[in-house]
Amino acid sequence: MKLFDVYPINDITIVRARGSHVWDDQDREYLDMYGGHAVISIGHTHPHYVQRITEQLNRVGFYSNSIRIPLQEELAEKLGQVSGKTDYQLFLCNSGAEANENALKLASFHTGRSKVVAFRKAFHGRTSLAVAATDNPNIVAPVNRTENIIFLPLNDEQALEDCFRAQGDQIAAVIIEGIQGVGGIHIATDDFLRSIRRLCDQFGSVYIADSVQCGYGRSGQFFSHDFAGVPADIYSMAKGMGNGFPVGGIMIAPHLPPKHFMLGTTFGGNHLACAAALAVLEVMDSEKLMDNAGQKGALIMQALREMPGLQNVRGRGLMIGFDVPETLKSLKKDLLQKGRIFTGEAKPNVIRLLPSLALNEEDTTHFLDTLRQQISEILNTPNN
């Protein structure tokens, strides 16, 4: 059987990994400034993480949600402590799309309404409602198309206000990434998030903070939406939550009550997933990784702003993007093939940096030196 060919891939086979480094099957070492798409939060194969999952696997890996799973309660407790949102409730699932799907569904159940406000260039996942709220017609199948999603320009307070004035009584939810990731690293401004909070309060709608990529400490705050100083009603989480183990979830404000069977999942919150997620939070806490993300991110962004050619350096913490002009269009490829550094991209010309939150000083310096060198090689090539 052949694989269903949906991914354009780099011809590299990774066989082992440690911290911010991965090795291929020729034993070539790469620096991972991509974190497997913002997933690696505490570093590859962190010893505490490996030990906690291994021990759990030797005890019990899975049983269904029909029994008590104290690890889920332990995870909820730790998540409340690290995120600062101790009075929220936790529902566990398996991926980012599923987290958003459940968040949107819960908002609709709660309000009895069916309209959702989403934003241009947003990415919320590939399941039915999440993909309908994603601003990319190429990945929305005919069956996913719905009149229920209203797309507005990001950070346009007037458009948001007008939309609520016209149909606020039908709006179940506003869903927004604190920093758009797939869309190319665009920050939702603090004022805009405050307007969302205010209008949701005024019209009884639910504010959903999609924190799948920008959350879990990546921005230097636990949720990047926290910079605005106002809480969301639901936070969706996934990528960094399990450091590669598939686990997602939503954190739900206390005023949204649960009802039996309104949400559910077979695999979500299983013993192994909880062990992985707990190990991540324990390491984030003990190694102060949120602080590290904030510091290393500021350092990298300052250095990027001083490099020739790079444009519109932007981001928060270790979620960073910059535009690459036509003259430097080979930069991402050169970084990988000549510099042995993985980075991410966003169409048409954005390089994204999404490394582990444990990125250390040596790797930061190595990244910046290699980037400088690759830029200078391209710029000094005749006929460029």
Ligand X SMILES: Cc1ncc(COP(=O)(O)O)c(C=O)c1O
Residues that bind ligand X (CB under 6 A): 95-97, 100, 123-125, 177, 181-182, 210, 212-213, 238
Residue 323, token pair as written in the block: 């535009």
In the bound state with ligand X, the residue whose beta carbon lies nearer, of 79 and 99, is 99
Minimum distance from residue 246 beta carbon to ligand X (Å): 8
In the bound state with ligand X, the residue whose beta carbon lies nearer, of 275 and 319, is 319
Which own/partner contact pairs does 269-272 have at CB distance under 8 Å and 24+ positions apart?
269/65, 269/69, 269/72, 269/92, 269/93, 270/61, 270/62, 270/63, 270/69, 271/56, 271/59, 271/60, 271/61, 271/62, 271/63, 271/69, 271/71, 272/53, 272/56, 272/57, 272/61, 272/62, 272/245
In the bound state with ligand X, the residue whose beta carbon lies nearer, of 110 and 218, is 218
CA distance 220 to 50: 25
Minimum distance from residue 215 beta carbon to ligand X (Å): 9
Radius of gyration of the chain (CA): 21
Contact, 168 vs 203, CB < 8 A?
yes
Contact, 270 vs 63, CB < 8 A?
yes
Minimum distance from residue 119 beta carbon to ligand X (Å): 11
CB-based closest residue to ligand X: 96
In the bound state with ligand X, the residue whose beta carbon lies nearer, of 35 and 168, is 35
In the bound state with ligand X, the residue whose beta carbon lies nearer, of 100 and 292, is 100
Minimum distance from residue 178 beta carbon to ligand X (Å): 9
Minimum distance from residue 181 beta carbon to ligand X (Å): 4
Minimum distance from residue 18 beta carbon to ligand X (Å): 24
H or E element at residue 163: helix 157-167
Residue 371 phi, psi (nearest 5): -60, -45
In the bound state with ligand X, the residue whose beta carbon lies nearer, of 111 and 236, is 236
